[in-house]
Amino acid sequence: MKKNKASTSRRSEIQNIYQCYSSGRNTLAASALLRFLHMEQMEAAANQETAEGLIDRYEIEETARENRSMTFEGFYRYMESKDCSVFDQIHTSVYQDMDQPLCHYFISSSHNTYLTGDQLVGKSTLDAYVSALRRGCRCLEIDCWDGPSAEPIVYHGHTLTSKILFKDVITTVEQHAFEVSPYPVILSLENHCTPTQQDVMAQYLTSILGEKLLATSLDLTNQPGQLPSPNKAAVVAESLSNLVVYTKSVKFHSFSHAREHQQYYENTSLGEKKAHKLVKTSAPDFVQHNTVFITRIYPAASRTLSSNYNPQGFWNVGSQMVALNFQSLGLPMDLNNGRFQDNGGCGYILKPLFLRTNQWGFNPNSYRHNLKPAHLLLKVISGSNLPVPRSGKALDPFVRVEIHSVHSDSCRRHTDTVRHNSLSPRWDSAMNFTISVPDLSLIRFTVRDQTGLTSEFIGQYTIPFISMKKGESDMDCVPIHKDASFRGR
């Protein structure tokens, strides 16, 4: 208990708020707490019952509870709780319209899901599929090759990555597909198998998944140029083709060719380099294409260490399945995790209206957008108990706030550096941003350690702009007011 009080006593900024509303008294009356909810938290719907509910939830001193008031320790617990999170708790459940066409959603997607390391000698595991599914991933990639004893195998072909059985992958998917989300799982089958082993694949899909095939969309990509030997026919077995539901991957020629020849159930699969070029030169056409067809983007073959590209540019044109290497930490996965924590973490995010209809003529590369802009005013106040490096040296921390959005909105600002303070750095730094496309924007808070002319990463938190609550909140490493967890690496 003493340790807890010592911990709270370091948060002078929270004490100042408490003292302001308690008017110097030892406890905060329910009426004063309600005033705080209205004035600071911007919770206009809060009433006396709301305030008393918070007292019941966070106050442990019996006398204070009986008097319908809150001690500082209770207030501190509230300030570090989910009720005080910067992330709108309504968004922790599915709240969006889930009855629209599949092409109207951003879909959490994984590249070479089976790998836990690099693309050349990395290990292939079933746990990688479990991990991706538990993180809300809804599009899994399965690279299928002929294996011994007529058993199809999964690995990164023509490399030294280890091999796992196709039937074990499908069994794992069946067991874990709907643990965290009830919405469809898309199996992106990169098919390198001969017709004989494709028949085996089809048998496993039907016998193992059974009725769950109704909630499992198969995205079939045939790779005739990469079959194990040249004398094997580059065909798709009828037994496997008949299982393909909704989406089949086809070669992209041009947007005009797609409009004339591509079927609604066919999707476009693009490498990042070609996709980047299309975003740069034909963004409005790309947006229009993605209002009707599904586009899957995947990392370049040159990313042998399983690095990732920045997914934001592809979301800006409405690409639905922006596949990343889930095993690799860094900015791209931070953005992906931030984007898909919205809508209950179900792996599907309804795209903004201007990306679901071609009537808007939206161009993410333009500097003027016919949308209502938003103004973000925030104050980075303080931090608490930042992780200390193994050397034991105290940090020189600062906070960088980044806007990831269309080009005209993307920017970053930072606080001053606080010297030699890992325990309770105080910044009190106000920032003001104008965001012209708020529905696409992600806000990323990073804590960094100033080390001479450079800085080192300490932790981060990324949140969709539309999921941010107004008011006081606490984010562990970087309070702007409301509690959220940081990833450290």
Q: Annotated catalytic sites, by residue?
A: 111, 156
Q: Which residues have C-beta within 8 Å of that of residue 100, sequence separation ≥ 6?
A: 350, 356
**β 266-271/248-250 pair status:** parallel
- Decide if 460 contacts 443 (C-beta within 8 A): no
- Decide if 82 contacts 28 (C-beta within 8 A): no
Quick one: angle between helices 72-79 and 2-9, nearest 10?
70
Residue written as token pair 């999964």: 154
Count the neighbouring beta carbons within 10 Å of the beta carbon of residue 224.
Answer: 12
In order, the DSSP letters of 131-175 are HHHHTT--EEEEEEE--GGG--EES-TTSS---EEHHHHHHHHHH
Q: How far apart are CA 485 and CA 447, in angstroms?
A: 12
Residue written as token pair 């909810």: 37
Cite the beta strand spans of 299-388 per DSSP E.
Answer: 321-322, 348-350, 374-382
CA 37 from centroid of its chain's CA atoms: 29
Q: Nearest-CA neighbor of 267 among 220, 202, 198?
A: 220
How is residue 36 written in tokens? 């705080």
Residue written as token pair 């066409």: 101
Q: How far apart are CA 30 and CA 24, in angstroms?
A: 15
